[in-house]
Amino acid sequence: MRVYLSPIAARKLELLLVYLETNWSKKARDKFLEKLLKAFQRVAEYPKSCPESQEFANLFRCTVTRQTSFYYRIKANEIEIITITDNRQDPDSIREEVHNRQ
């Protein structure tokens, strides 16, 4: 299946990668990006490999690292990454992002 990022997810990924490189290192950024791409690949091959979200109907949550997860929706032949979140993030802000995409 094809995996693509919603505009919100694309923007959050861009900000996260800049943050990692600025506050940690290019190596930390690259290591995170490698883990994220592997998670995208796993979801593309096995769309239901991550648990269904308990908070959001018809969405799945994939944990990439202790700090980072993403929510996605399975469409006909596509996986839409709805948002990328910090696991410590306020749940209300996640709800707002998800509801803007539904």
Within the chain, which residues score under 50 in pLDDT?
A: none
pLDDT at position 100? 67
pLDDT of 101: 67
The pLDDT score that the predictor gives to residue 60 is: 97
What is the tens place of the pLDDT at every residue in 82-102? Answer: 999 998 877 777 777 777 665
Quick one: pLDDT at residue 98? 76
Give the E-state strand segments of the chain in sequence order: 2-5, 60-63, 68-74, 78-86
Model-level pTM greater than 0.95?
A: no
Collapsing DSSP states into helix, strand and coil, what is residue 39?
helix
Q: What is the CATH number of domain 2-101?
A: 3.30.2310.20
